Amino acid sequence: METVSTNTAHGGVQGVYRHASKETGTEMTFSVFVPPHADGAKLPVVWYLSGLTCTHANVTEKGEYRRICAELGLIFVAPDTSPRGEGVPDDAEGAYDFGLGAGFYVDATQAPFAKNYRMWSYVTEELPALVAAEFPAVMARQSILGHSMGGHGALTIGLTHPDRYKAVSAFAPIVAPGQVPWGHKALPLYLGDDRAAWRKHDAVALIEDGARVKDLLVDQGEADNFLAEQLKPELLEKACADAGIALTLRRQPGYDHSYYFISSFMEDHLRWHAERLG
Amino acid sequence: METVSTNTAHGGVQGVYRHASKETGTEMTFSVFVPPHADGAKLPVVWYLSGLTCTHANVTEKGEYRRICAELGLIFVAPDTSPRGEGVPDDAEGAYDFGLGAGFYVDATQAPFAKNYRMWSYVTEELPALVAAEFPAVMARQSILGHSMGGHGALTIGLTHPDRYKAVSAFAPIVAPGQVPWGHKALPLYLGDDRAAWRKHDAVALIEDGARVKDLLVDQGEADNFLAEQLKPELLEKACADAGIALTLRRQPGYDHSYYFISSFMEDHLRWHAERLG
């Protein structure tokens, strides 16, 4: 692991790091905030998965999480959203919603994407092992949240590993990629046409198929341009109601899809996570 | 005034606006955060002046001021750092420390800069008049802060207009441009070789020449790369001690010159301003 940069912030250290990923076959960059802590102390880890077009940098610069993580004693990790670099296949037209910056947190099975696009295994296995080795982290106390495509990632990963992630929340998540245009484009290209494979990467389908967590927190801006066509929180609301999952869905008047929205409610999410991380 | 964008954030509105400036002869872009407030209420205004290379966007995205301004009921205005656009003269070699992004908050008197580089009058007269006309602002309750070159701007403007600005503070300011390389480059190009003209744009010289404010708050990172050569807070410390100005100079171990530093202490500054804004 190579250190790209470290900056003192809110009494802790905001770092950016790079490593050669076996999963993606590329160099991957990620950020970690380690709050102030006693020598030798180990801290819980909050995973933040970013949305389409983002790298680790967006939330690192605009997320306003450091003050609260410093107060609550949380390590905050922000991975990239896809493999990048020489030879990594991208969207045929370079569109923003597939390929680079749009890994959708799946292990692709389809050529030419299967070789590099292994963001599921990267985020759930390889990067946690690296974080456990390099930072003062208690891996028995992890939680996960994300935004938009990263909200999709947080929900699907949290629902698949309910014992591993003690809290799961999202900002404006894609709750049912199998039912919306973003997913209709990405899922066949990454996973093929078999809809059974899609269902493992669709929060609503996972819940319909029996996945359970105790509770979920979702914030959704009512002025979000993607709300009606791509996000459809009502589908998650119905699935959770049917399954007995305690979903707190907060529709926030006036808020859009941007980091102005995320940073406004980051504190609420991190406090909710801290309660569940114990 | 044209609205470039508005986003709901922390219960208020973060806007970016553009207007044709008479002072600079260019279009100027600036940001304004208006916190949540009762209909018809008018609020105090905090001016934030940015450093070299910045536009309004840096602090708007990375400054972490909205939560606190929302709590305290403060309007937060971030101007650009220079005129920009077709025909605006720049540094001869395109360097970062003069010309575009480096207006030093002076009214230039030297060709070819005198026509557009009128950031002193822009920030102290033209933009306040626009803010007073377009936003729910009480112009009798203004304060000013800034970072680096913008800290220089905040100190010199605050010292020159002690009745107008009820609080003056800075992050890592250039306290004595007349004694450091950044000023030795910029001041002659903007103001000519007459050092008397420089002294009106040098906080330490202004204090030596009799300018007074009751108190000042300055945070300075001890790991700031520019500390020894360009910033020299000890010069401000001595001038304030000699003049009887109550300077609170906090040397912050580990902190550098970045927005990770600024955002860590923004809350302290805004609370200090709010106390003095009444």
Where do runs of H (alpha helix) occur along A145-222? Answer: 149-160, 181-191, 195-199, 203-208
* Vertex B3 angle, CA B1 and B6, to 5°: 145
Q: For all residues of chain B together, what is the average pLDDT?
A: 98
Q: Cβ contact (<8 Å) for B64 and A64?
A: yes
Q: Which residue among the candidates B80, B107, B219, B224 is catalytic per the annotation?
A: B224
Q: What are A37's two structure tokens?
A: 């802590």
Q: What are B20's two structure tokens?
A: 């044709």
Per-residue pLDDT of chain A (278 residues; tens, 9 = 90+): 999 999 999 999 999 999 999 999 999 999 999 999 999 999 999 999 999 999 999 999 999 999 999 999 999 999 999 999 999 999 999 999 999 999 999 999 999 999 999 999 999 999 999 999 999 999 999 999 999 999 999 999 999 999 999 999 999 999 999 999 999 999 999 999 999 999 999 999 999 999 999 999 999 999 999 999 999 999 999 999 999 999 999 999 999 999 999 999 999 999 999 999 99
The mean per-residue pLDDT over the stretch B154-169 comes to 98
Q: Provide the b/e sequence for B41-60 (b: ≥16 CB within 10 Å).
A: ebbbbbbbbbbbebbbebbb
pLDDT value of residue B84: 98
Active-site residue B148, yes or no?
yes
> Using CA atoms in the order A106, A108, A114, A120, what is the torsion angle rounded to 10 degrees?
20
Suggest the residue from B58, B69, B224, B260 to mutate for an interface test with chain A (most A CBs closer than 10 A): B260
In chain B, the residue whose alpha carbon lies closest to the alpha carbon of A264 is: B10
Listed in sequence order, the residues at least 6 apart from B50 whose beta carbon sits closer than 8 Å to its beta carbon are B56, B58, B59, B78, B79, B80, B81, B146, B147, B149, B150
pLDDT value of residue B268: 98
The mean per-residue pLDDT over the stretch B73-99 comes to 97
pLDDT value of residue A183: 98
Residue A112 preceded by cis peptide, ω within 30 = yes
Residue whose structure tokens are 């990923």? A21
B59, containing H or E segment: helix B56-62
- Give A63 to chain B, closest Cα distance, Å: 9
Q: Cβ contact (<8 Å) for B9 and A221?
A: no
Find chain B residues with C-beta within 8 A of A10's C-beta. 263-264
Question: How far is residue B105's CA from residue B201's CA, in Å, rounded to a whole number?
Answer: 8
Question: How far is residue B171's CA from residue B148's CA, in Å, rounded to a whole number?
Answer: 6
Backbone angles phi, psi at A152, to 5 degrees: -55, -45
| pTM exceeds cut of 0.90 | yes
pLDDT value of residue A61: 98
> What does each C-alpha distance from A164 to A78, A140, A159 come to in angstroms?
18, 7, 10
Is A267 an interface residue toward B (CB < 8 Å)? yes
Q: What is the ipTM, given to two decimal places?
A: 0.95
> What does each C-alpha distance from A185 to A91, A189, A252, B211 come to in angstroms?
10, 7, 28, 65
Number of domains in chain B: 1
Backbone angles phi, psi at A189, to 5 degrees: -70, -35
Q: Give the single-character DSSP code of A179.
A: G
Q: Cβ contact (<8 Å) for B264 and A7?
A: no
Question: How far is residue B77's CA from residue B150's CA, in Å, rounded to a whole number?
Answer: 13
- Give B272 to chain A, closest Cα distance, Å: 18
Find chain B residues with C-beta within 8 A of A266's C-beta. none
Confidence tier at B146 by pLDDT (50, 70, 90): very high
pLDDT value of residue A134: 98
Find chain A residues with C-beta within 8 A of B254's C-beta. 8
Strand partners, A19: A28
Q: Give the single-character DSSP code of B242.
A: H
- Give A144 to chain B, closest Cα distance, Å: 23
- Give A254 to chain B, closest Cα distance, Å: 6
Question: How far is residue A201's CA from residue A25's CA, in Å, rounded to a whole number?
Answer: 22
Q: Cβ contact (<8 Å) for B263 and A62?
A: no
In chain A, the residue whose alpha carbon lies closest to the alpha carbon of B60 is: A62
CATH number (domain holding residue B178): 3.40.50.1820
Domain with B234, as residue range(s), is 2-277
In chain B, the residue whose alpha carbon lies closest to the alpha carbon of A255 is: B8
Confidence tier at B77 by pLDDT (50, 70, 90): very high
Q: Cβ contact (<8 Å) for A61 and B64?
A: no
> What does each C-alpha distance from B125 to A50, B9, B21, B129, B145 come to in angstroms?
42, 28, 11, 6, 16
Q: Cβ contact (<8 Å) for B264 and A14?
A: no
A&B contacts, CB < 8 Å: 62
In chain A, the residue whose alpha carbon lies closest to the alpha carbon of B10 is: A264
In chain A, the residue whose alpha carbon lies closest to the alpha carbon of B70 is: A264
